[in-house]
Amino acid sequence: MLSQIVRPLVRTQIRLLANTQATRSTLISTIAQWLGYLGVHAQVTSLSTSSGQIQVSLTVGKPESCESSDWQQILHNLNEPADSSQSSETTYAQMTPKQQSKLQRLLAYLVQVGDPDNKVNWDTLYPQLKTLNLDEDLLNGIKSALKVPQSLDQLLEGLDPDVAALALPKAVSIALLDRRVNAKEDSTLTALLSAMK
C-alpha cells in the first residue's frame, strides 16, 4: 500500500527535478520536505555529484516522535569514541538459543496473523523471506515455528529488549510483504516497539 502511494510521487518528483531550471534548490527543499513527512527536521548542508551519484550532507534535529531523553542519549552515544571491536547490533548468530527461539516464534506469529484465513504455503513464503536477507538458520526456525499456533501474549512475556530491537525491522518487512498491515500485525509491531524501551 505504502509503495503504491510513494512510488508515483517519487516518479513525479524525478520528472520535476529533470525539467526544472532550479534543480539544486528544488532537490534541497524536496529532501527536507520528505523527511518532514516522517517527522524529522532536516536541513541539507551540502549537495554535490560524484561518479554518477548525488552526495548529500544533512543536519538532523530531534524527530517529533522522539522523546527528549532518547534524543539526548542518541547524541551522547554519538559523541562517545567509536569502539571498532564492538558491534553496535546483536546479530542472530550472537543470540542465545532461547533468544533465537523467541525471534523465530515472533516472526512466525507475524506470518500467521498476516493472512489468518489461509494456511501458510512455505514454498511460496520461503522465496519472499529470502529477499529480506534473513539468516538461513532463522528461516529454518520460522518454518518449524509455523507448524504450531503462536500466542503473542506468551511471546511478549519476558521479551528481551535486544530481541525486540532485532525483531522489529524484520517484523516490519514481513508485515509489508503483502503491502498492507492489518490490525494484528500493527499491534505486534507496536508491542515490539514498546518492548525496546
The pLDDT tens digits of the residues spanning 15-63 come to: 878 888 888 888 888 888 888 877 788 899 999 999 999 999 999 998 8
Residues of the chain falling short of pLDDT 50: 1, 84-85, 87-88
Quote the crossing angle between the two packed helices 2-19 and 23-37, to the nearest 10°: 160
Beta bridge partners of 47: 56
How far apart are the C-alpha atoms of 60 and 41, rounded to whole Å? 6
What is the per-residue pLDDT for 1?
A: 43
Which residue spans within the chain are E strands per DSSP? Answer: 42-50, 53-60
Of 148, 31, 50, 41, which is closest to residue 101 (Cα–Cα)? 148
The set of cell numbers assigned to 142 is 520460522
pTM above 0.85, yes or no: no
Neighbours of 185 (CB within 10 A): 21
How far apart are the C-alpha atoms of 116 and 113, rounded to whole Å? 5
How far apart are the C-alpha atoms of 194 and 197, rounded to whole Å? 6
What is the per-residue pLDDT for 4?
A: 53
Beta bridge partners of 42: 60
What is the per-residue pLDDT for 85?
A: 46
How far apart are the C-alpha atoms of 88 and 118, rounded to whole Å? 38
Contacts by 25-29, CB closer than 8 A, 24 or more apart: 27/54
How far apart are the C-alpha atoms of 149 and 116, rounded to whole Å? 11
What is the per-residue pLDDT for 138?
A: 93
Contacts by 68-73, CB closer than 8 A, 24 or more apart: none
What is the per-residue pLDDT for 82?
A: 67
Does residue 163 contact residue 95 with C-beta atoms inside 8 Å? Answer: yes
